[in-house]
């Protein structure tokens, strides 16, 4: 089975990793290969466009909103169709050499490429698209995709409105790692992480450290009144980590800054409140843990849609300024009843077994259900 991903934001890769881990649990002998499609097509171009994407999000987020909105509705005669066919030829040569039983895409770009091959009769394996947000962008919709795996009925309805047969859409939840569905001993975890008895506020930047204005927000939080501990995760951005350490240095409030953490499930299990941007995977992990959220400065486009979804269902609040964030944190920590309502709303939306559910559907559709043995996963051969 081939998992096609793209490195524009961490969520698409995390969804692929969650699927790979889930498939390994259900069918250990199955060879699962993860492929960054655009890196295989052109590593240099992929790196340049990734850099441009991240810089756009950081410095001119409103430009990204314009791009996102202008590409939401893709007509059949769109230039995207020509791009799909051109890039799909190279992807097709790669897939022909692999002869996969199923092709799974966690980003709309690879989904469209595989869908174009399938529609042209150049790919025998079924194509699955895993939508990694709680809103639908038009680029996901492609007639060549056999199945869609989505996080909520609202996403299924959004695809249906774009002409996708609802019978081809399965509401599995956005795939998250199986460990998010396992019971956790909250008090043991707090001791293991050397935390005190006060409420824990977890502030996460995402894997790429893309929360804008996080330093100012941390300064405001460590100076705020009220009893709570602040746990900050900077992600893979080493520069941001150093700046955040400087921002909280010398504060009377207990505050700890971490870099990249691969035990996010533990942090979410022990936390009382999550502050974060609104990436689809982070949101899904928090929902699985029943963790109330305050979304801080969501990225225009898909994250604004995710934030609106959470607010509409009572699982989150949205803030955009440091003092507004502090006020929301103080209000929620003083209001255990409200926090419990938000936690219940999050749990109702959450799908802790989403990764395993999605993996089970993939195995069944590909005729691979019930396989076991030893897994083999590698990077495979290059395109071309």
Residue 74 has pLDDT above 70, yes or no: no
Domain assignment of residue 169, given as a range = 2-176+352-365
Per-chain mean pLDDT for the chain: 88
Query: Which percentage of the chain shows pLDDT scores above 70?
Result: 90
User: Rg of the chain's alpha carbons, rounded to an integer?
Assistant: 21
Distance CA 232, CA 230 (A): 6
Q: Kindly state whether residue 373 falls inside one of the protein's structural domains.
A: no
Residue 379 has pLDDT above 50, yes or no: no
Q: Kindly state whether residue 8 falls inside one of the protein's structural domains.
A: yes
Task: Give the pLDDT confidence of 75-113 residue by residue, as tens digits.
Answer: 645 655 655 666 777 788 889 889 999 999 999 999 999
Distance CA 100, CA 2 (A): 6
Q: Kindly state whether residue 371 falls inside one of the protein's structural domains.
A: no
State the DSSP code for 161.
H
Record the tokens describing residue 212, joined without a space.
Answer: 């804008």
- Read off the pLDDT band of 68 (50, 70, 90): confident
In the sheet with 169-171, reading across from the earlier edge strand, the strands are 33-36, 2-5, 103-105, 127-130, 147-150, 169-171
Residue 383 has pLDDT above 80, yes or no: no
Predicted local distance difference test score (pLDDT) of residue 14: 93
Answer yes or no: do 201 and 153 share one domain.
no
Answer yes or no: do 231 and 293 share one domain.
yes
Predicted local distance difference test score (pLDDT) of residue 375: 31
Answer yes or no: do 44 and 105 share one domain.
yes
Predicted local distance difference test score (pLDDT) of residue 159: 95
Answer yes or no: do 145 and 245 share one domain.
no
Q: Kindly state whether residue 383 falls inside one of the protein's structural domains.
A: no
Query: Which percentage of the chain shows pLDDT scores above 90?
Result: 68
Answer yes or no: do 192 and 127 share one domain.
no
Q: Residue 245 sits in a domain of what CATH number?
A: 3.40.50.2000
Calculate mean pLDDT across residues 135-139: 90
Calculate mean pLDDT across residues 333-343: 98
Kindly report the CA angle at 100 between 94 and 105, in degrees rounded to 5? 75
Length of the chain: 384
Record the tokens describing residue 107, joined without a space.
Answer: 């980003």
Answer yes or no: do 7 and 78 share one domain.
yes
* 268-278 burial code (b ≥16 CB/10 A, e <16): bbbbbbbbbbb
Q: Kindly state whether residue 88 falls inside one of the protein's structural domains.
A: yes
Task: Give the pLDDT confidence of 228-243 residue by residue, as tens digits.
Answer: 999 999 988 888 999 9
Task: Give the pLDDT confidence of 1-47 residue by residue, as tens digits.
Answer: 999 998 776 788 999 999 999 999 999 999 999 999 888 877 777 77
Ordered DSSP codes for 177-199 = -GGGGS---HHHHHHHTT--SSP
Answer yes or no: do 146 and 38 share one domain.
yes
Answer yes or no: do 130 and 141 share one domain.
yes
Instruction: Kindly compute the dihedral angle of the four CA atoms of residues 13, 17, 19, 22, in this order, to the nearest 10 degrees.
Output: -170
Task: Give the pLDDT confidence of 255-271 residue by residue, as tens digits.
Answer: 999 999 989 999 999 99
Pick the closest to residue 90 from 116, 119, 126 (CA basis).
Answer: 116
Answer yes or no: do 109 and 197 share one domain.
no
Answer yes or no: do 186 and 291 share one domain.
yes
Distance CA 268, CA 287 (A): 10
Q: Kindly state whether residue 107 falls inside one of the protein's structural domains.
A: yes
- Read off the pLDDT band of 313 (50, 70, 90): very high
* Residues 276 and 204: beta-carbon distance below 8 Å: yes
Answer yes or no: do 9 and 58 share one domain.
yes
Q: Kindly state whether residue 374 falls inside one of the protein's structural domains.
A: no
* Residues 12 and 106: beta-carbon distance below 8 Å: yes
Residue 166 has pLDDT above 90, yes or no: yes
Predicted local distance difference test score (pLDDT) of residue 18: 97
Alpha carbon 362 to its chain's center: 19
Answer yes or no: do 191 and 337 share one domain.
yes
Residue 209 has pLDDT above 70, yes or no: no
Domain total of the chain: 2
- Read off the pLDDT band of 376 (50, 70, 90): very low
Q: Kindly state whether residue 25 falls inside one of the protein's structural domains.
A: yes
State the DSSP code for 337.
H
Predicted local distance difference test score (pLDDT) of residue 45: 75
Residue 210 has pLDDT above 90, yes or no: no
């Amino acid at each position: 089975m081939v998992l096609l991903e793209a490195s524009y934001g961490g969520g698409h890769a995390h969804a692929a990793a969650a699927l790979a881990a889930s498939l390994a649990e259900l069918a250990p002998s199955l060879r699962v290969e993860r492929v960054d499609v655009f890196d295989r097509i052109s590593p240099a171009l992929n790196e340049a466009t990734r850099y441009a994407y991240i810089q756009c999000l950081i410095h001119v987020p409103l430009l990204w909103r314009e791009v996102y909105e202008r590409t939401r509705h893709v007509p059949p005669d769109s230039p995207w169709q020509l791009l799909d066919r051109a890039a799909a030829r190279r992807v097709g040569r790669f897939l022909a050499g692999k002869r996969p039983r199923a092709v799974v895409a966690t980003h709309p770009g690879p989904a469209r490429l595989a869908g174009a091959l399938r529609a042209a009769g150049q790919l025998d394996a079924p194509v699955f698209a895993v939508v990694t947000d709680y809103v639908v962008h038009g680029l996901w919709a492609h007639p060549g995709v056999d199945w869609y795996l989505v996080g909520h009925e609202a996403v299924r309805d959004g695809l249906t409105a774009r002409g996708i047969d609802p019978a081809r859409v399965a509401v599995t939840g956005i795939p998250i790692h199986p460990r998010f569905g396992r019971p956790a001993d909250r008090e043991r975890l707090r001791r293991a992480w050397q935390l005190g008895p006060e409420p824990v506020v977890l502030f996460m930047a995402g894997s790429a450290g893309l929360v804008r204005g996080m330093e100012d927000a941390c300064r405001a939080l460590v100076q705020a009144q009220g009893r709570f501990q602040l746990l900050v995760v900077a992600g893979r951005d080493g520069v941001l980590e150093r700046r955040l350490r400087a921002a909280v240095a010398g504060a009377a409030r207990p505050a700890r800054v971490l870099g990249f953490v691969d035990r996010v499930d533990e942090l979410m299990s022990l936390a009382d409140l999550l502050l974060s941007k609104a990436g689809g995977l982070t949101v899904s992990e928090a929902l699985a843990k029943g963790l109330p959220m305050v979304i801080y400065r969501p990225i225009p486009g898909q994250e604004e849609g995710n934030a609106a979804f959470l607010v509409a269902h009572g699982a989150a609040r949205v803030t955009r300024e440091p003092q507004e964030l502090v006020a929301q944190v103080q209000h929620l920590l003083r209001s255990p009843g409200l926090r419990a309502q938000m936690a219940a709303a999050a749990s109702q939306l959450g799908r802790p077994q989403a990764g395993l559910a999605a993996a089970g559907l993939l195995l069944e559709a590909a005729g691979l259900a019930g396989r076991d043995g030893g897994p083999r996963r590698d990077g495979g051969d290059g395109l071309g």
